[in-house]
Structure 1
């Protein structure tokens, strides 16, 4: 009897194992999240800037003037981009963004009896991105070109009142890093940091006569959060 039972087990075991394997092969396997595709969204954040107004000494009794400003404030804007996820989970993409806000500063114009006010009117960028996908979470880095409209005015109590001495578009570069998480197949949240150097531009209005070298630069640190919709 024991011999018959043992023989029956030996005969049925391979068939049972084969049946289990067949069942496993037919069960659906959950696919990982695919980051490839077009997306667009909105973002909000805080900007802390550094700016310096330089006026050569030829216009002010042989003494150079360096007036430092720290414009800061909140911004909001839109972004649009596209991603392509590779077989090794690396994600490459490109993105453009535009932001407006209330980023400004006020300082004293030493020796001129006036105040200087500066304001970042808008900023934008076009960047390449690269990241590595941990299923629905994507840490990434980005870099590209950046532009900003920067304005500076002299505010006095005299008859001239407020005079705009700079109203130009600065062109520079930006780098950053962030992380995104797809909490549904379509909606993606993000947080990112960006550093931008918008370069140096000459003043629009020479305020101390011909031949005076005068310019202003702008650098910003941005911390942004955003929400995107993947098409």
Structure 2
């Protein structure tokens, strides 16, 4: 075995470590996806999926190339390691891998058009602070046009420290779950018996799982994306060893 120094690149994920934390991005991988599908110079989309999108199996629509559609979804699914803001859109499209239609290809193209303008986004993990395990849970009811199923998402957020320190300090700590509306009250009655779980209500403006359960408008989407720590890491200034360093991924 040999020591190659700090991790900087692993399976398409670029790792930037600095005094204040760690940045993870797949900017080069994202650009490679766009080059392969011929959308390197496409028109930008501000959101990966429109608010009024109405996808279904659409048996009356014309079929498209299933292999090409699957390849596009497969590439995007790997990108979700550093782009959780795309999870909902890619998850919805993944339901139609068998016999995809024209509407599914149009929705996939919108995700790619959004990616074209956001290649330099990535996950930012800051260090220090108190290690608390906080979970956000949200649901969107009866959103599947084919079977009427709901979408439920739960997100564990480490908002104050890096994972190694975080996991060591929270094994015996009380867990917090933030829920919206009446669900917080209903679930809370059962969780009160377990002293390791604390259920609290969170307003919709602060519900981090919102971006994982439904399409959002441009302003709301950008706000939620920031809350889950997906940020533009292309030109950030960091203080390393007392010096200002500019990192550029372009």
So what's the TM-score if we normalise by structure 2?
0.22
When Rg is computed on C-alpha atoms for both structures, the one with the higher figure is: 1
Instruction: Name the one with the larger helix percent.
Output: 2
